[in-house]
């Protein structure tokens, strides 16, 4: 009973954090783009005269989305048309179950791993969920009975499948180095020190994989510079025929996937909840100094570290989104198949060879 | 016809690598981001106000600066005793290409002035803001320097300015009480004549 309560609590924490951050992303997107472009950004929504830097705009948006008429085209497949956005959001949200956001918390005689579902194959699970996300997109395109939507859905599918391969192969390098698919173990393995003072984070041991991962993962999120499936203003995407909150759900999926990718980048390449030189009993600096911290402080610092890294990546992806123009479709395919894919394979071969020479582990 | 040959430069290897170019782009956007973010925060505590963090004007609260020659809503210039400088010569009504000015002249008690407008209307719904009326006026009686440019109304009637609003640019529709003392066709009194010269100059001696 208490176990169940703990699981529900963890799930609530993750959902609460992730959904709020996703809602906040609409605000971050507006404000960050505004600041980059020497503007001010949305700041007019107010409650009782308080504007709070435009923080009420996401609320106003949500209200607007729910109040709008929900239109299903006359010849569309009513069931699939309704189901598609739910698929999108569901798979994007379900993937978060396997993300470890902190070290194990010890309460009395209970050990709580700060991870909603402790899976041995967490990484595979997340990639399965990300891949299934494409169903929402293709269904939306197909069920709308709109040629533009179908073409958008096809573009999305081709793009996501192409980039998933590069993504998966880039990850193999990381798995080879840490020899686990369990994300919690993978994060723990990143706590080791290389040569006594460099934290053994993924970015240090697998820099090439990191670049491939970020590029391919950005393509997975279907946002600029890889927003060919949507292309709101020019090339009309798979959700043309959606209105109201169903459209909002596709939009939410984009943000959820951005956060997902930020979480993955943090977990795989930036040490997850690790803080350099922080062990469960306190800081052990390489020059010999130590600084003891209590257990709760340690776990709290871990969660804070994880959140900070995720927020940094959200910022970085947003910055990229407002820096780069959109790819042309052939450029996109070329980059995926002729650029990222061979480099990812070469990275795996190189990693395996080096590991073999270092100690025959691979 | 002259032909201009455009030479397209081949991308160098460094540029084809793409990643360095992305980083260059990120550097530019980040420079803007952090500079503006810093300025926004510093403005909150009232420092470095002279450096603008954004090109935005928060329009209704913060009007944009106007050029000195900008042609905005008209006004009639006023003599010291509160009568219009206009002598009712009809030049502006004649020159107006949009025919938006309506003047009815009356006799002024001062023989040097001779005439004055009993009625002076400008229909802003028709006006093209060409400024000819200002150019042509021999008395400097009409100007377009009020800086008012957000003229908006719910009906065509409300777009018509009469002498009250033209002599006092601060008045906005609906105009309340009539404060003009000289005789004029007062729209506030349904177009009836109102006022007399004794209120302006005192009893004639």
SS (H, E, C) A212-241: HHHHHHHHHCCCCCCCCCCCCCCCCCCCCC
Instruction: Please tell me the distance from the alpha carbon of residue A219 to that of residue A217, in angstroms, as a whole number.
Output: 5
Q: Give pLDDT, residue A345.
A: 93
Which residues in chain B land under pLDDT 50? Answer: none
Does any domain span residue A326? Answer: yes
Q: Give pLDDT, residue A360.
A: 57
pTM of the model: 0.82
Residues A73-86 pLDDT 10s: 888 888 888 888 99
Contacts of B37 in chain A (CB under 8 A): 35
Does any domain span residue A330? Answer: yes
Pick the residue of B21, B52, B54, B60 with the most A CBs within 10 A to test the interface with A by mutation: B54
- Do residues A216 and A161 touch, judged by C-beta distance below 8 A? no
- Do residues B74 and B133 touch, judged by C-beta distance below 8 A? yes
CATH architecture of B75-201: 2-Layer Sandwich (3.30)
Q: Given a cut of 50, is residue A137 above it in pLDDT? A: yes
**Structure tokens given for A62:** 């949500």
Does any domain span residue A127? Answer: yes
- Which residue in chain A is spatially nearest to B29 when comparing CA positions? A36
- The residue segments making up the domain with residue A92 are 71-359
Say yes or no for a CB contact (<8 Å) between A40 and B28. Answer: no
Does any domain span residue A43? Answer: no
User: In degrees to the nearest 10, what's the CA dihedral of B8, B9, B11, B14?
Assistant: -160
0.85 surpassed by complex ipTM: no
**Structure tokens given for B38:** 């810093």
**Structure tokens given for A195:** 């040569």
- Do residues A271 and A97 touch, judged by C-beta distance below 8 A? no
Q: Which of B33, B40, B55 sits opposite A36 (nearest CB)?
A: B33
The nearest CA of chain B is from the CA of A68 a distance in Å of: 28
Residues B24-51 pLDDT 10s: 999 999 999 999 999 989 988 888 888 8
Map residue B134 onto helix, strand or coil: helix
Q: Based on the structure, what is the number of domains in chain A?
A: 1
The nearest CA of chain B is from the CA of A38 a distance in Å of: 4
Residues A298-327 pLDDT 10s: 889 999 999 999 999 999 999 998 998 888
Q: Give pLDDT, residue B134.
A: 94
Contacts of B24 in chain A (CB under 8 A): none
- Which residue in chain B is spatially nearest to A212 when comparing CA positions? B19
- Do residues B202 and B181 touch, judged by C-beta distance below 8 A? no
Contacts of A319 in chain B (CB under 8 A): 26, 29-30, 33
Does any domain span residue A40? Answer: no
- Which residue in chain B is spatially nearest to A316 when comparing CA positions? B26
Does any domain span residue A56? Answer: no
């Amino acid at each position: 009973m208490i176990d169940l309560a703990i699981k529900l609590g963890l799930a609530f924490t993750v959902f609460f954090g992730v959904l709020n951050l996703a809602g906040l992303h609409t605000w971050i997107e507006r404000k960050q783009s505004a600041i980059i472009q020497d503007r001010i950004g949305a700041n007019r929504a107010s409650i009782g005269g308080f504007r709070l830097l435009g923080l009420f705009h996401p609320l106003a948006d949500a209200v607007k989305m729910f109040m709008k008429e929900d239109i299903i085209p006359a010849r569309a497949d009513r069931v699939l048309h309704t189901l598609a956005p739910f698929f999108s959001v569901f798979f994007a949200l379900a993937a978060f179950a396997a993300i470890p956001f902190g070290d194990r918390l010890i309460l009395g005689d209970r050990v709580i791993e700060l991870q909603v579902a402790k899976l041995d194959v967490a990484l595979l699970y997340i990639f399965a969920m990300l891949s299934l996300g494409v169903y929402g997109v293709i269904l939306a395109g197909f069920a709308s009975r709109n040629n533009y939507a179908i073409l958008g859905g096809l573009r999305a599918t081709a793009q996501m499948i192409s980039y998933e391969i590069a993504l998966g192969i880039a990850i193999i390098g990381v798995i080879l180095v840490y020899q686990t698919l369990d994300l919690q173990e993978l994060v723990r393995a990143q706590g080791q020190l290389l040569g006594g003072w460099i934290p053994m984070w993924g970015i240090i041991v697998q820099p090439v994989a990191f670049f491939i991962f970020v590029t391919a993962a950005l393509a997975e999120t279907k946002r600029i510079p890889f927003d060919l499936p949507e292309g709101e203003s020019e090339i009309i995407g798979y959700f043309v025929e959606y209105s109201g909150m169903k459209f909002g759900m596709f939009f939410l999926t984009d943000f959820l996937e951005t956060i997902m990718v930020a979480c993955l980048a943090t977990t795989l390449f930036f040490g997850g909840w690790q803080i350099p030189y922080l062990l469960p009993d306190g800081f052990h600096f390489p020059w010999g100094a130590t600084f003891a911290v209590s257990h709760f402080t340690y776990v709290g610092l871990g969660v804070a570290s994880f959140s900070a890294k995720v927020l940094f990546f959200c910022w970085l992806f947003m910055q990229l989104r407002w820096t780069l123009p959109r790819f042309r479709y052939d450029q996109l395919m070329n980059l995926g198949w002729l650029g990222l894919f061979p480099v990812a394979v070469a990275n795996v071969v190189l990693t395996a060879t080096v590991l073999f020479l270092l100690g025959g582990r691979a | 016809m002259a032909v201009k040959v455009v030479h397209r430069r081949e991308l160098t290897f460094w540029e084809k690598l793409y990643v360095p170019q992305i980083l260059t782009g990120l550097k530019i956007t980040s420079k803007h981001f952090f500079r503006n973010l810093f300025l926004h925060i510093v403005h909150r505590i009232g420092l470095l106000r002279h450096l603008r963090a954004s090109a935005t004007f928060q329009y209704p609260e913060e009007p944009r600066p106007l050029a000195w020659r900008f042609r905005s809503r008209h006004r009639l210039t006023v003599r010291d005793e509160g009568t219009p400088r206009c002598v009712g010569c009809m030049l502006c009504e004649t020159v107006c290409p949009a025919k938006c000015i309506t003047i009815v002249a009356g006799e002024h008690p001062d023989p040097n002035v001779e005439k004055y407008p009993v009625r002076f209307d400008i229909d802003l719904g028709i006006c093209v803001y060409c400024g000819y009326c200002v150019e042509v006026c021999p008395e400097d009686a009409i100007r377009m320097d009020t800086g008012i440019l957000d003229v908006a109304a719910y009906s065509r009637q409300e777009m018509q300015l009469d002498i009250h609003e033209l002599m006092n640019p601060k008045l906005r529709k609906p105009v309340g009480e009539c404060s003009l003392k000289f005789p004029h066709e007062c729209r506030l009194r349904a177009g009836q004549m109102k006022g007399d010269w004794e209120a302006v100059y005192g009893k004639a001696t």
